[in-house]
Amino acid sequence: MSNKEKVYQITLIPGDGIGPEVTSAARKVLAAAGIVIDWEIMDAGAGALQKYDTTLPEETLESIRKNKVALKGPLTTPIGGGFQSVNVLLRKNLDLYANVRPVSSALGITFQHRPVDMVIFRENTEDLYTGMEYEVAPGVAQSLKVITERASTRIAKAAFEWAMKRERKMVHAVHKANIMKKSDGLFLDSVRKVAKNYPEVTYKEIIVDNCAMQMVMRPEQFDVVVLGNLYGDIISDLAAGLVGGLGVVPGANLGEEIAIFESVHGSAPDIAGKGIANPLATIHSANMMLRHIGENKAADRIRAAMVLFLAERKHLTPDLGGNATTDELVDALIEKIKLLR
């Protein structure tokens, strides 16, 4: 069977709000590039609650475990009732320890002249996001920052392996070890040990507040960036802002065997069903998924089409300064894909 005839089985979680609209758009783009996928459509989020009495049905987890790859739309966690973030539950249940976010000015809407081309590796499982908080006395709250050598080593290896496989030249480790000498010190020590195994890759360290400033002033100096959970959450959104925001930036949550690809923006219930949702982040994420499954030629073609499409600044949705509908944006992008055959 030729590569073009191969049929992939992939889990699809359409999600809440605009999720079904943007994931449908991504499916159209992949089909236009000749990729055949047998989508296994599963529920999660607020939309799953009434049907399954849970925001993350076991059937959905089993589908992802079986297929190893999933594309996910934005999910809504119901307010009240003690519901935990569905995204956090997915990461914990499937051990998706690496949040990976490529940020590129070539694939964004930006008016700054400095080039941006970086990939951010955020550790996904610990740090302050373990939720270990206590009220130790009236008016006094405490949160525990948990950093382990195992998790720090694992995210560092993922970052350096990505750099090697994709011929990236440099890895920055972001920290605040000048203040948090034990926790961030352990993170840095773990990354340094991993860095010694990759002499071909330049290794640098930068304090997190300086990193934020440098990304705004000279983003071109960053290539691959590895951070803990909290710093990664903040810095990855800052980086997204350099190229147009969360509406144009892809994301992936990776484990040892399982990968979920998703846009990182919210479900935007205020515009759901109006046909004006921006699908670019989900399309970018789906393109990351193509590279993950080895469909590099199709991924290259979609990327080239997106560069052409974005360079024209036409057929953009309202959040990007245009007045196009979701369908009009997708149709214009597909026309570019056809031109590149």
Question: Across the chain, what does the average pLDDT equal?
Answer: 94
Count structural domains, the chain: 2
Q: Which of 129, 184, 223, 336 is catalytic?
A: 129
The one catalytic residue among 43, 97, 157, 176:
176
**CA–CA dist 297, 154 (Å, integer):** 29
State whether 89 and 133 are in the same domain: no
Q: Are the C-beta atoms of residues 54 and 25 closer than 8 Å to each other?
A: no
Please confirm, yes or no, whether 327 is among the known catalytic residues.
no
Looking at per-residue pLDDT, the higher value among 76 and 109 belongs to: 76
Give yes or no: 209 in active site. yes
Structure tokens at 88: 């956090």
**233 and 196 co-located in one domain:** yes
Residues 6+ apart with CB under 8 A from 174: 205, 206, 207, 208, 211, 225, 226, 227, 228, 231, 232, 235
- Identify whether residues 233 and 125 lie together within a single domain: yes
pLDDT surpasses 80 at 16: yes
Q: Say if residue 117 is in the same domain as residue 184.
A: yes
The DSSP secondary-structure symbol of 16 reads: S
pLDDT in the model for residue 1: 42
Does 195 lie in the same domain as 270?
no
Residue 129 catalytic?
Answer: yes
Three-state secondary-structure class, residue 171: strand
119 lies in the same domain as 162: yes
> Is 82 exposed, middle or buried (CB count within 10 Å of its CB: 0-12, 13-18, 19+)?
exposed
Report the CATH number at residue 157.
3.40.718.10
Q: Assess whether 118 and 236 both reside in one domain.
A: yes
Three-state DSSP state, 35: coil
Do residues 322 and 232 share a domain?
Answer: no
Q: pLDDT tens for residues 208-258?
A: 999 999 999 999 999 999 999 999 999 999 999 999 899 999 999 999 999
Q: What is the number of alpha carbons within 13 Å of residue 254 lying toward its C-beta?
A: 22
Q: In terms of domains, do 279 and 331 share one? A: yes
181, 209, 274, 314: which is the annotated catalytic residue? 209
- Domain check: are 126 and 223 in the same one? yes
Q: Are residue 83 and residue 125 in the same domain, yes or no?
A: no
High-pLDDT (> 90) share of the chain, %:
84
- DSSP string spanning 48-116? HHHHHSSSS-HHHHHHHHHHSEEEE----PPSSTTPPPHHHHHHHHHT--EEEEEEEGGGS-----S--
Confidence (pTM): 0.92
Contact between 19 and 50 (Cβ < 8 Å): no
Residue 85 pLDDT level (bands cut at 50, 70, 90): confident
Residue 2 reports pLDDT greater than 50? no
72 catalytic, yes or no? no
**How much is the average pLDDT of 316-341?**
94
Domain, as residue range, for 162: 113-241
Residues 132 and 33: their CA atoms lie apart, in Å, by 46
Six token digits for residue 149: 């050598």
